[in-house]
Structure 1
Amino acid sequence: MTSEQWGRVDDDGTVYVKTADGERAVGQYPEGSAEEALAFFTNRFDQLAFEVEQLERRVHATKSSPEEATEAVKIVRAKVVEANAVGDLAALAARLDALTPVIATQREARRAERAARAEQTREQKEAVVREAERLAESNDWRNGANRLRELLEQWKALPRIDRASDDALWRRFSTARTAYTRRRKAHFAELNEKREGARVIKERLVVEAEALADSTDWGPTAGQYRDLMRQWKAAGPAPKDIDDALWKRFRAAQDVFFGARDAASAAMDAEFAENAEVKDRLLAQAQELLPRLEAGDLDGVKRDFREIAARWDEAGKVPRARIRDLENGIRRVEQAIKAAEDEQWRKSDPEKSARADDMINKLESAIAQVEADLDAARAAGDTRRITSLEENLESRRQFLEMARRASADFS
């Protein structure tokens, strides 16, 4: 389309634009030709068209908010409608009107996006609140306070949601933090009270331990130290710096006593070393008695062992490290002799021997009666009774043989 299709110039230089409502004067251009006048006002139209095109690009690229875009369309449309320019102004206005549903769609998309972000924020804040409430009921005194501070920073970094929901979640979060802080303070107050009580007890135990450090009553004093140690453990921890200092004093007192006891024991062990050598020889002699037990020389072994035992007692104490193996060795010989005595008694027990003899007598009488009954059955030709009596007789003879062997063990 040419500019003449959308406008004209009259004889006095007035320029008109053609619209659907008729012609409208847009200005005068008296100093030039009609072509120059139309070109001047057509250029104004081109500038408006360029502005509309730029606005379309911005709207479609969503570089402005829907509100900003709506305002920009309104402003540019007003320029187009009232423009002193020559061109298809209605087409420009229609292009601007076509942006309205585009902006409406963008507005809905942004509204949905905001709602999604708000819902995501709500979920994040609810997660923060739930964790805070879980911590409020826990006893994680070491990490709980730090974690609640981290949760507070997370809360601050999140955007606000609708006022009612945001305030309700914040009240839950704040209540959880307050509850945890109160419980934590109560816990440490109770802990401090217990530690103070432990300090008093341990100070007393240290004084008692230091009073015993120079004792030479080795056995009873060692028992007292063990009792003090049980009380120390039962007292629980005192404040750390105090606890460490008291333990150093307690341990130092123990070390003094047990060091002195070990030194005394070492001196005694050196003194008793010769006694151990004597007992080594006596143990070897006692062990040489064992083969004689198997040969049946119980009385001789007992006599010789009594002599060895007497010399054993006379030998005296031995170093502590040797006590167990020497005592175990002599005890094994003693137990072997006792076992041999028990076996001999079992075989010679008069009550058992009498019972065995009585059993033999009863069995012999019963066998004699069965033999008499068997002779009578044979004379009568009673085959069934003969078979029964023969089986009975054989069984009783076997029992008799067993009873005679048992009796021989007691003879």
Structure 2
Amino acid sequence: MTTAAEHPWGRVDAEGNVHLRTAEGERVIGQWAAGEDSAEAIAFYERRFSVLETEVDLLEKRLASGALSPTDAGKAIEIARGNITGAAALGDLASLEARLTALEPVVEKAREERKAARAAEQEQAQARKTEIIAQAEKIASGKDYRGGADKLSALLDEWKKLPRLSKSADDALWHQFSAARNTFMRQRKTFFAEQDEARAKAKKVKEKLIAEAEALSTSTDWGPTAGAYRDLMSRWKAAGSAPRGVEDKLWKRFRAAQDVFFNAREAANEAIDAEFAANAEVKEQILVEAEALLPIKDLEATRKVWHDIADRWEAAGKVPRSRIQELEGRLRKVEQAIRSAGDQEWKRTDPEKSARADDMIGKLERAITETEESLAKAEAAGDARKVKDLTAKLESNRSFLDMAKKAQSDFS
């Protein structure tokens, strides 16, 4: 730093006046007390210039980094020029002004670039808002009333983050987007209102079905009541869903009523099966006798024994459900063997024996008629177990009838 009265850009005269040299000549920029060290005056005004120079340096750096918008940069240049013009400072003020002037085209270029970027941003924003409107209208035309609301909310959030367009353009686009949202929300409100109404109706229907189910739960008329519960279940499904939080409670009550009935029926069937266990033991003993008839050596003797076995089999009564297939299957094997042997025998026996076939046909036809009458009564009463037993008996008698008729045809 210069400490003498002379300075490259000025001087301090004997009267203490501080002069700045410019291209137009000297001008007084300040007064310093006469007799005091003029070097201090020089240093003081140098510092003032340094402040101005720092201001220009900082402005150049901020503009180069993009930290200043073109508008703010223009204002900053004007402020800096005002500070430099006529400034009381020792230094090359003209160079500072030239540096400021050199920044003006930079600012103008940045302004044009900012304008172009803004235009591109506006174009992109308008395109995206148009896309959002199309998506919103598609949602509004659909029936996804649960997911659609979330999708529209997300589109609205995105819309708010997009740059605004001109007022007229932005208002027009917003009107379209808002119209789509409002249409969807009205439809959604109507849908859920109708759904709530339907659920409320379903609740009333199911409460009535529960009352019917509970009234039937103590019935011991197993067949018809089981059918009634199947009908109730069909009506339950057809009623639709009750309101959330209510449906599960209603179902538990409805199911509980059914469980009371079906558990009681199961217990009754188990008791019946226990009662029929003794019958199964009798039939097992009969089966031992029946299976001992095989292989057949004397058909006539076998038939006599077989008729007795068949009568005792019917008289033995019902067996537990779990044993029916096993026991009946074993008996039918013996029956089939006798039938096959009979077929062979009838082919080579005297026609006079057809009389026995006629007699057998008569007995079997009467037995079938009686069984069919009993079966019809059981079906009318809804006694499923009796229906099943009589059906099996009817099939057995019909099988015997077929055998008898086959024999008759052989002798005719």
Shift of 1:106: 2.6
Conservation of the 8 A alpha-carbon contact between 2:11 and 2:42? yes
Aligned residue identity for 1:247: W
Shift of 1:182: 2.0
Conservation of the 8 A alpha-carbon contact between 2:16 and 2:38? no
Conservation of the 8 A alpha-carbon contact between 2:140 and 2:180? yes
Shift of 1:277: 0.8
Instruction: Tell which deviates more after alignment, 30-39 or 110-119.
Output: 30-39
Among 11, 25, 29, the alignment partner of 1:23 is: 25
Structure 1 122/333 Cα, relative in aligned 2: closer, same or farther at 3 Å? farther
- Secondary structure, aligned partner of 1:317: coil
Quote the residue 1:64 is aligned against.
68
- Secondary structure, aligned partner of 2:241: coil
1:322-333 aligned at under 5 Å gives the runs 322-333=323-334
Conservation of the 8 A alpha-carbon contact between 1:6 and 1:18? yes
Cα distance between partner residues in 2 of 1:139 and 1:117: 34
1:205-216 aligned at under 5 Å gives the runs 205-216=209-220
Structure 1 211/344 Cα, relative in aligned 2: closer, same or farther at 3 Å? same
Residues 241-272 of structure 1: per-residue CA shift (max 9 Å, x gap): 55445434433433333333233322322221
Aligned residue identity for 1:327: E
Shift of 1:229: 1.9
Residues 313-351 of structure 1: per-residue CA shift (max 9 Å, x gap): 111111222222222332343344445556777899x9x
Unaligned runs of at least 5 residues, structure 1: 351-411
Quote the residue 1:102 is aligned against.
106
Shift of 1:311: 1.3
Shift of 1:230: 1.9
Cα distance between partner residues in 2 of 1:78 and 1:101: 19
Conservation of the 8 A alpha-carbon contact between 1:275 and 1:315? yes
Aligned residue identity for 2:199: R
Shift of 1:57: 2.9
Conservation of the 8 A alpha-carbon contact between 1:13 and 1:34? no
Quote the residue 2:309 is aligned against.
308
Quote the residue 1:320 is aligned against.
321
1:187-202 aligned at under 5 Å gives the runs 187-202=191-206
1:75-224 aligned at under 5 Å gives the runs 75-85=79-89, 87-115=91-119, 117-118=121-122, 121-122=125-126, 125=129, 128-224=132-228
Quote the residue 1:271 is aligned against.
275
Aligned residue identity for 2:96: L
Structure 1 280/95 Cα, relative in aligned 2: closer, same or farther at 3 Å? same
Aligned residue identity for 2:323: R
Instruction: Tell which deviates more after alignment, 165-174 or 43-52.
Output: 43-52
Structure 1 64/321 Cα, relative in aligned 2: closer, same or farther at 3 Å? same
Conservation of the 8 A alpha-carbon contact between 1:9 and 1:34? no
- Secondary structure, aligned partner of 1:25: strand
- Secondary structure, aligned partner of 2:295: helix
Equivalenced residue count is: 344
Cα distance between partner residues in 1 of 2:165 and 2:274: 87
Conservation of the 8 A alpha-carbon contact between 2:29 and 2:87? no
Cα distance between partner residues in 2 of 1:24 and 1:310: 151
Relative to the length of structure 2, the TM-score reads: 0.68
Structure 1 263/25 Cα, relative in aligned 2: closer, same or farther at 3 Å? closer
Shift of 1:120: 5.6
Residues 107-131 of structure 1: per-residue CA shift (max 9 Å, x gap): 2343344445545655665565455
The RMSD of aligned alpha carbons is 3.9
- Secondary structure, aligned partner of 2:218: coil
Conservation of the 8 A alpha-carbon contact between 2:283 and 2:316? yes
Instruction: Tell which deviates more after alignment, 37-46 or 152-161.
Output: 37-46
Shift of 1:158: 4.5
Structure 1 47/231 Cα, relative in aligned 2: closer, same or farther at 3 Å? closer
Quote the residue 1:372 is aligned against.
none
Structure 1 338/189 Cα, relative in aligned 2: closer, same or farther at 3 Å? farther
Unaligned runs of at least 5 residues, structure 2: 352-412
Shift of 1:152: 3.4
1:350-369 aligned at under 5 Å gives the runs none
Cα distance between partner residues in 2 of 1:170 and 1:196: 38
- Secondary structure, aligned partner of 2:28: strand
Task: Report the identity percentage.
Answer: 51
Residues 12-64 of structure 1: per-residue CA shift (max 9 Å, x gap): 877665544x4253357583699768777666555543433333233333332
Cα distance between partner residues in 1 of 2:208 and 2:50: 103
